[in-house]
Structures are given as C-alpha cells and as structure tokens.
Structure 1
Amino acid sequence: MIIKDFKPFNGQHCETTATGSLLYQLDINLSEPILFGIGEGLGYIFWNMKIMDFPFIGGRVKPDILTENICKNLNLKLEVKETSSIKKAWKNVKSNIDKGKAVGLKLDCYHLDYFTNKIHFAGHYASIYGYDDKTAYLNDTNQQGRDARTTLKSLELARNEKGPMSSRNRSYTICKNGEQPDLKKVIKRAIHNNATDFLNPPIKNIGYKGIHKTSLEIKKWFKTSKNIKKDFQTSASLMERGGTGGSLFRNIYRDFLYESAEITGSDILFKASEDYGEIARLWKNIADLFDEIGETKDLNDVNQASEILIDLSEKERNTMEKLMNATIDESI
C-alpha cells in the first residue's frame, strides 16, 4: 500500500521534514524555515554525561517539542501514539497508511538501511507513506535522499531502540482543528516564546548561558579527551551536516526571520535576520576550528574557539532580547 499523490517535503532537518510532509496532506504549504520558527525551534544545549563518548552540542529545542509547538501555533490536532508492543506499533502506522494518511515516526537512524554513517541517534524523524511485504517507503531529508526505503525489519529495530532521546515506538499524525490562525500573529507569538525561553534557561548549560559555559567546558574536554580528532571533528560534522542546515540551526533561523520580515513588513525582523547571519558565520567558524583542533591538537585553536563562544553568547542574548521586547510592544 503506497499513498497516491503523496508529496515529499524538501528539507534539511529531519523533524521539520517529517512534519512538513504531513502538513502537505492538509494543504498547508510552509517553508522549512517558517516551520522551524513557528515551532519555536531555536535553542542551545551543552550536554555531557559519563556514559557519553564526548559532549553533545545541540542547537534546537528537545525532540518532539518542535512538532508540538507547530501544531499548537497553527491550531492543528496532533495525535501521538507510543507503545512497548512492536506488533501494536506497526498496527498504529499501518492503519493510517491504509486510510491514505501519512505518519510521522521517531527513529534511531543507526538501523535504517539508507544511512551510511552508522551512529546511534534515537532522535531522528521521517514520515512513512507506504509499505509492501518487505519494504517501508519514507520521506527523509535531502541529505538522506528524500525518497528513502528501508526493510520493515530495520524500521522495526529503529523504532524500538532504547537510549538517549528514544521514545517507545513513537508515531504521530496531524489533522485540522478548525480555522487556521493569522500567520502574522503566529509568527509574533512564536518569536516571543522562543526568545523568552532562550533568555531564561532553567540550568546553566542551556540557552545563551549554555553557550558561555561551553567556552569553558571545551578546554576541559580538550584535556580529558581520549580521541581529540574523533571527538572534535564528529562534533563539527554534527554542527554543519547533522541535519542542522549549517551553523547549528542558525542558518535556518536566520532565514525564518527574513521570511517573517517579508510577511510582516517588519524592519526589526530584517535587522534580526542580519544579526543571525553574523551569528551563523561565527558558528561556522566554531565548526571549522573544531575540525582544525582534530588535526593539529593545538591549544591555541581551543582558546580561539572559546573566545568566539563568549562573543556568541552575548550576540545571541542581545538579539533575542530585541526580539522579545519587540513582540511585547507590538513593534511587529
């Protein structure tokens, strides 16, 4: 069973790509930057645990929250199903596809046949729009080929994997829930909520405080790493090529602000887009330095990266404060 006239979403980031393809079925056609922005998706986290090979640097909100925010802000009904039963998990998906409704899936990409870089990451998303006796048909990101196929067995393993960011065979569908709200108002609310969250992190390794903390933590990481080349270069790759759109999602948020400025006619958003353009370039510098650190193992490169992170913390704080204040006083 393959859904006829299924329109694959063209995206760089897995969750916006999966959710965007479900919205296409509802005749909601929004760009990836707009989806990311109204999903209040920009964030930051420096996460380090003893069980991890090296620290994780993330640039977005927690998995699942992005889609929840998109549906909340667009007045859509999100139906999520989780189960520990493999049999029931497949039934939840199959029943929707048989009715012509695509389904969003949360997966560990390690098990998917079309992934060539085999690392465990249980926070990956794709939508499924068809199946046969052996194969599942998925819409994934451009980087993964967009029109992807994997065996039903590999899909089962990917959905049922345990570990950080995993869920119990999570699947979701979206349907309309009444009238669509005014996009200008949605954009304003989403920017305000995202900025407020970024400026008020509950712990010091999140938001702009987390960026500043990273400036200190990378020096400790450099000293204690058992494999500097692998650790720093893998981290650089995740920042630039791990479905972030480059510069740790800052390119996507820059584009969201620019498109939002065009929609609203706001000069404030045009300026904020320019600011995030500069911020994105600095994050690209961080990734380049991490690559260089992997090759040279030079402490000077670490110190340079640390200084840029301090600057980034301040620049992102300032820009988010302007956005938060602008959305309070009706400037946009």
Structure 2
Amino acid sequence: MRVKSIDYLDGMHCETTATGTLLRQIGIHLSEPMLFGLGQGLGFIIWNMKTMDFPFLGGRIKTDFLTENLSRNLNVTLTVNQTGSISKAWHEVKNLLDGGNVVGLKLDCYHLEYFSNPFHFAGHYCAIFDYDDTYAYLIDTAQQCGWVRTSLKSLALARSEKGPMSSKNLYYIIQTSGGGIVLKDTILRAVKNNAKDYINPPIKNIGYKGIHKTASEIIKWFDKSSNIEGEFNALANIMERGGTGGALFRNMYRDFLKESFDIINFQPIGEAYHEFVDIARLWTEVSQLFIKISKTQDRIFLQNAVEILELLSEKEKKTMEKLSSI
C-alpha cells in the first residue's frame, strides 16, 4: 500500500493529537486547547503503588473519557472496539484503513521504535493512517515529530501490552452524524460539566483533593527515595512537557478559556482565563522546584513545592466552583 498524505493535528498531547487528526478527516478543524476543553479534559490524580519508583501525577481526566466527551459534545459518532486477538486486531484496523478511514489507537509507547527514550505507558494514543508490508505510518505528538513510522511487529507489541491503563488492542474511528452544534452552547456545557466533575471527586486522590494530597505525598517520596536526582528530574520533565501533573494541561485549559472568551464574550469565562494564567504559572514553578530538588536534595525546595501545591489546590477549587455555576 502506498503511503498517502494526511492533514493532521500538530499537537502536544497524545489523545487530543490522535482524536484531532481523526476529526480533521471529517472536516472539523479545532485548535488543540479547544479540543481539550470541549473534551472536558481538565482533572488531576495522584497514583502511587509499592511497585512504582515514584508517584504518577496526572493532570487530566481518565484515559478514553476525553475522546468520548469530545465526540458527544461535537455531535459526531465515535465507534470504539477492542479484541484480545492480536491477528484480529490488525485485520480489523487494516480493513478500516483500506476503506479510507484514519484510525485512533491506544497502546503502550514503550514498543514504538521512534521513541528515543522508551518507557512503559499503556495510556498512549496515536492515529494510524497508512501501512505497507513492513511499517505502520502514524501521527503522534510534536515531541515525537508528528508524522512517524514503526514496524508492524512493534505496533502489535505496543497494542497488546498489558499493565496499568492498558486496553485490549483498542482502536476507534469517528464519523459524522449529520447533526450540527451551536459552539457557544457547547462551550458552556463542556466548561460546566468539567467543573462539576472536578470539584466532586469520588476519592481523595482526584481533583483538588488530589493536589492537596500530593503536597504530603511528595514529602514521603523524598524521604524514602534512593534516587532523588533521577526521580524528581524525570517527573519534572514529564509534568512540564508531557502534561502529567499539571503544567501542560493547565496551559492548554488556560488557552481554551481564552479562545472561548474570544468566541462567546462571556465574562465568567474571561475571569477564569485570568485565574488560569496564574495557576499554569504556579504549576511550572512546581516542576522547576522538582528540578532544583533533583540537583541539590535541599529540603527548602521541597517545602516550597509543598506550599505551592497547597495553594494550587485552593485556587483550582475556587475557580472551578465558579465555573460549575455558570
């Protein structure tokens, strides 16, 4: 099969990049912040297990939910399938590609050959748009150079990997439903729903409660870590560039609010935008403090990070409470 060209989203976050690319194939061109906001993507989780070297900090809602929310809010048809059979998984995706579809995939990025520093993360997304006898041709994030290829063998391993956040060879397509949307109403509904979910976390390690819990958990992490330099540096880079923990996703939600205000000129959205300017800046300060901790192992930087996290918990709670009542 000859490799074809594709109109793709040059994004920073994997799920919005993959889903945004699928949406472009049916004529829906939205910015990545708008995709993230309409997908009700803002969230937070701290997840720590004895088998993990350091806590996982997630700055967005649970995997898969963003695309589901986005499809519902944009009134498009999302079809998701999974199978435990590796051969069937490829056969089904191959048939969709042969039929002219671009297909979203959820997989473990560890096996993808274009990752220069591979690590296990089974909640990664990309879009496959073509293949030949040897390679699959994918769209991934800008950090991974966007238009990439990996061997069919490596793709099969990535799709079938087991572990936290993994799925059974999950793939999805998006099609038009024939209906339209009123963007103002859609924005307001997405903002309100995201805010309501955020301020009503089911457990204490989610939402603003999770940020508050992180403030105490990082002290425990620091005290028991045998590799402060490597672990704090790794999480700082992931937070700022990969989005987990807050920085990238807060930047994205800030930009979504700004774009939304420019479209609908609704004052509470504008006020929330200004509040998220400060929130995003503070998350970047946390990641910078983690780098200082990794370099110096000085507890003063740890205490500074704790204080900012406690402040962020309060600031995000107050802002999202306001948005939940619009």
- TM normalised by structure 1 equals 0.96
The residue aligned with 1:272 is 272
User: Residues 2 and 74 (structure 1 numbering): CA distance in 2 closer, same or farther, change over 3 Å?
Assistant: farther
Contact 1:78 / 1:175 at 8 angstroms: preserved in 2? yes
Matched AA of 2:136: A
The residue aligned with 1:329 is none
- Give 5+ residue unaligned stretches, structure 1: 327-332
Query: In structure 2, how many angstroms separate the alpha carbons of the residues matched to 1:243 and 1:88?
Result: 33
Contact 2:58 / 2:244 at 8 angstroms: preserved in 1? no
Shift of 1:244: 6.1
The residue aligned with 2:140 is 140
Matched AA of 2:259: E
Query: In structure 2, how many angstroms separate the alpha carbons of the residues matched to 1:53 and 1:92?
Result: 37
Q: Does 1:256 align with 2:256?
A: yes
The residue aligned with 1:153 is 153
The residue aligned with 2:187 is 187
Give CA-to-partner distance per residue, 1:240-287, whole Å, 9 cap, x none: 111569714100000000001011111221221111010000000000
The residue aligned with 1:40 is 40
Query: In structure 2, how many angstroms separate the alpha carbons of the residues matched to 1:248 and 1:154?
Result: 28
The residue aligned with 2:64 is 64
User: Residues 3 and 246 (structure 1 numbering): CA distance in 2 closer, same or farther, change over 3 Å?
Assistant: farther
User: Residues 244 and 208 (structure 1 numbering): CA distance in 2 closer, same or farther, change over 3 Å?
Assistant: closer
Give CA-to-partner distance per residue, 1:178-223, whole Å, 9 cap, x none: 2121111111111011100110000111100111111111111110
* Structure 1 stretches of at least 4 aligned residues deviating more than 3 Å after TM superposition: 2-5, 243-246
Shift of 1:76: 1.2
Query: In structure 1, how many angstroms separate the alpha carbons of the residues matched to 2:177 and 2:8?
Result: 23
Number of residue pairs aligned between Structure 1 and Structure 2: 326
Q: Indicate the SS of the match to 1:249.
A: helix
Contact 1:22 / 1:174 at 8 angstroms: preserved in 2? yes
Shift of 1:2: 4.9
The residue aligned with 1:168 is 168
Matched AA of 1:255: D
- Give 5+ residue unaligned stretches, structure 2: none
User: Residues 97 and 3 (structure 1 numbering): CA distance in 2 closer, same or farther, change over 3 Å?
Assistant: farther
Query: In structure 2, how many angstroms separate the alpha carbons of the residues matched to 1:144 and 1:52?
Result: 25
- TM normalised by structure 2 equals 0.98
Shift of 1:131: 0.2
Give CA-to-partner distance per residue, 1:112-141, whole Å, 9 cap, x none: 010001110111100000000001100111
Residues 299-310 of structure 1 mapped to structure 2, 5 A cutoff: 299-310=299-310
Matched AA of 1:184: K
Query: In structure 2, how many angstroms separate the alpha carbons of the residues matched to 1:299 and 1:34?
Result: 39
Query: In structure 2, how many angstroms separate the alpha carbons of the residues matched to 1:36 and 1:109?
Result: 21
Contact 1:38 / 1:187 at 8 angstroms: preserved in 2? yes
Matched AA of 1:136: A
Give CA-to-partner distance per residue, 1:147-204, whole Å, 9 cap, x none: 0111101101110111111100000001111212111111111101110011000011
Contact 1:6 / 1:129 at 8 angstroms: preserved in 2? yes
Q: State the percentage of identical aligned residues.
A: 58
